[in-house]
Structure 1
Amino acid sequence: MVRAFVRDRHAERIRRVWLAAPDAPADLRLAALAGGRVTCTSLAQRRGWWMPEGIGHELHLHVHPGSASAHTPGARGVTHWTKPIVPAARSLVGTTADALLHIAQCLVLVGDRLVLQIDGYEFHSSSAQRSANIAHDAELRLRGYTVLRFSYAQVVHDWPTLERTVRRAVAAGLHLAA
């Protein structure tokens, strides 16, 4: 039945486990081709989340480390090679937690001047990485930005406190240019 469906061009076989209808969205098609999931700013835009102006439209895909390939011919974008935070069923769309982590790794700018950073232990466990973070924060402060750094644990296990902190910063006007 599947072979007939593909043969009659009602669908295209993207990978062994994925079929795509002729009108399937391009981002989902590319995620299937890459063996990944739509994540980061691509997932945020797909879900209608607010994003600051100037965020690019290149496709962000989440691919599990050790995957054979995330090559997508003709596609440009960003590949996040990380282990999922939250196990997800077979899906072409990433989880909210993974998307937030990837967005943070890409640096989130709220308004004009509020920078949010999320530091996971995997990428921020060494002295050299910590020193780089401190230098980066200092440079941003010297340029007039407020930097709020959160841990992976805060994002996953204490979202209400994180959200309250960001809301307080916005209420204080820290996201606005002087």
Structure 2
Amino acid sequence: MNLHTWVAARGGIAHREDAREWGYSPSRVRAAIRAGEVQRIRAKWIATSEAPPELRAAAAASGRLTCVSLARRRRWWIPEGASSTVHLQVGGNAHRHSSQAVLHWSDPLVDLGPRSLTTSIEDALAHLARCFRFEEAMMIWESAITRESLDIESLRSVQWRDESSRALARSVRGRSDSGLETVFVVRLRGFGVPIRQQVRLAGHDVDAVIGSHLVIQIDGFAHHSTAADRGRDVAHDAELRMRGYTVLRFTYAQIMHDWDGVERTVSSAVARGLHLPPTERRR
């Protein structure tokens, strides 16, 4: 296998020590660089021309991809309008002149060694906690928990070094089906009424239940139900109403761009006792 093919199979970028261990001698690597088969990135890395630019940036800076950049790479939920600037974790050996990036100068919580161009999940979460407002960071953490199948108690036992990370570790529940659902729950956490997520009612999961009988369904940004899907939603809403529940549906646009309206609607429903069982509502 030629060196280009080998590097391409490893995501387009590789450490030269890995190449040597796979049988590509230093002289063979140098010849491939001279021939344009691969490109040299500083002393330790080689890459194809198709290598992801964010990983090339990490190699050039002697850093590791972290924070929102790792979240984006691992397909965690990211807030609308989040910066596309590369975020890198760097140490004392970082190349200081490489930065069109946001640099996180810190020792890693989990040291993945010199051949990794990405941080650990824990390090990325810690950097996210410091880079984003609590609400937004909470959304990303919840998404990471779901995507990575993280154990909540294990996450809380991490020796976090800052209060932002510790607060998030205490607050996350790992129950959100989407970042949008997290936004809704976090923003209503001061209501003083219990909110449960992903509750099974009448044979289907609902996004949230306020109190015992106020059901919230959230139609996300990517919600494009077929006619059959929409029909099932309508039928389920009707079944819930017949059982005494009140159902409120909110869209992505309402939650992200008209939160005041959403909050007014929920407040009005709670003021009318619609979160209580029908037998307990004031007449």
Q: TM-score range by the shorter chain?
A: 0.5 to 0.7
Distance 1:102 1:151, change over 3 A: same
Is residue 174 from structure 1 mapped to residue 187 from structure 2 by the alignment?
Answer: yes
Which runs of at least 4 in structure 1 moved beyond 6 Å after TM superposition?
113-116
The answer to whether the 8 A contact 1:114-1:174 is kept is no
Higher Cα Rg, which structure: 2
The answer to whether the 8 A contact 1:37-1:93 is kept is yes
Counterpart selection for 1:11 from 34, 38, 43: 38
Question: What do you get for the CA RMSD once the two structures are aligned?
Answer: 3.3
Provide the rounded CA distance (Å) in 2 between the counterparts of 1:165 and 1:25: 30
Q: What is residue 105 of structure 2 aligned with on the other side?
A: 81
**Shift of the alpha carbon at 1:18?**
0.5
Provide the rounded CA distance (Å) in 2 between the counterparts of 1:22 and 1:68: 23
Is residue 43 from structure 1 mapped to residue 70 from structure 2 by the alignment?
Answer: yes
Provide the rounded CA distance (Å) in 2 between the counterparts of 1:166 and 1:174: 16
Identical amino acids, percent of aligned pairs:
37
Q: Letter of the 1:151 partner, please give it.
A: R
Q: 1:1-178 to 2 correspondence within 5 Å?
A: 1-64=28-91, 66-72=92-98, 76-89=100-113, 90-108=115-133, 110=135, 121=161, 149-151=164-166, 155=169, 162-164=171-173, 172=185, 174=187, 177-178=259-260
**Shift of the alpha carbon at 1:166?**
8.0
Deviations 1:36-56 (A, max 9, x none): 011100111111110111111
Provide the rounded CA distance (Å) in 2 between the counterparts of 1:5 and 1:20: 11
Distance 1:165 1:44, change over 3 A: closer
The answer to whether the 8 A contact 2:71-2:77 is kept is yes
The answer to whether the 8 A contact 1:37-1:91 is kept is yes
The answer to whether the 8 A contact 2:78-2:140 is kept is no
Give the total of aligned pairs: 141
Provide the rounded CA distance (Å) in 1 between the counterparts of 2:165 and 2:29: 47
Gapped regions of structure 1 (runs ≥ 5): 125-148, 156-160
